[in-house]
Amino acid sequence: MLEKGDLSNDIFKYAKQFAAADTIVIAAPYWDLSFPSILKVYIENIYVTGIVSKYNSDGTPKGLCKANTLYYVTTAGGPYDERFSFGYLKELAESFFGIEKTVLIKAEMLDIIGNNPEEILAERMKFYGID
């Protein structure tokens, strides 16, 4: 299919949905210094050359996604290190998918004894202007 340029198969429906979205919101918890593996599987399935990106004659990627912004929403029981989750998605979005802006929305330290997760979440929602 792909080698013949036939992108009509239903297997590409999620790639087409992703590429056509006006705005993209990904919500995933911070697990083991990253995000759940099912999100990686999703990314691997939507990354279809000819739908979400193409390659220029010099081999550099060019994004084909319609969205201007990707929001990544995450929570973490302890301190959050964005390099292994948001950093990866930001690089994909901006360098391969053609999405100009990525925004991280996070709440961390939720499982630390003495911290009140509801208060942390309420404060973060206020910080980000989320009602």
Report the Cα 29 to chain-centroid distance in Å. 12
Q: Is the Cβ–Cβ distance between 65 and 98 less than 8 Å? A: yes
- Summarised one tens digit per residue, pLDDT across range 63-93 is 999 999 999 999 999 999 999 899 999 999 9
User: For the domain bounded by 2-128, which CATH number is listed?
Assistant: 3.40.50.360
Residue 2 pLDDT more than 60?
A: no
Distance of alpha carbon 114 from alpha carbon 46, whole angstroms: 41
Q: Is the Cβ–Cβ distance between 62 and 55 less than 8 Å? A: yes
Residue 8, pLDDT score: 81
Residue 34, pLDDT score: 95
CA angle in degrees (0–180, nearest 5) for 30-32-36: 60
Residue 130 pLDDT more than 60?
A: yes
The neighbouring-strand residues paired with 102 are: 70
Residue 1, pLDDT score: 55
Is the pTM higher than 0.75? The answer reads: yes
Residue 82, pLDDT score: 94
The residue behind tokens 């929001």 is: 71
Residues 6+ apart with CB under 8 A from 66: 19, 20, 21, 22
Residue 128: how many CB atoms within 10 A of its CB? 14
- Summarised one tens digit per residue, pLDDT across range 17-50 is 999 999 999 999 999 899 999 999 999 999 999 9
The mean pLDDT of the chain is: 93
Give the start-to-end residue ranges of the domains of the chain. Answer: 2-128
Do the bridges between strand 61-63 and strand 53-55 make them parallel or antiparallel, or are there none, so unpaired? Answer: antiparallel
Residue 5, pLDDT score: 67
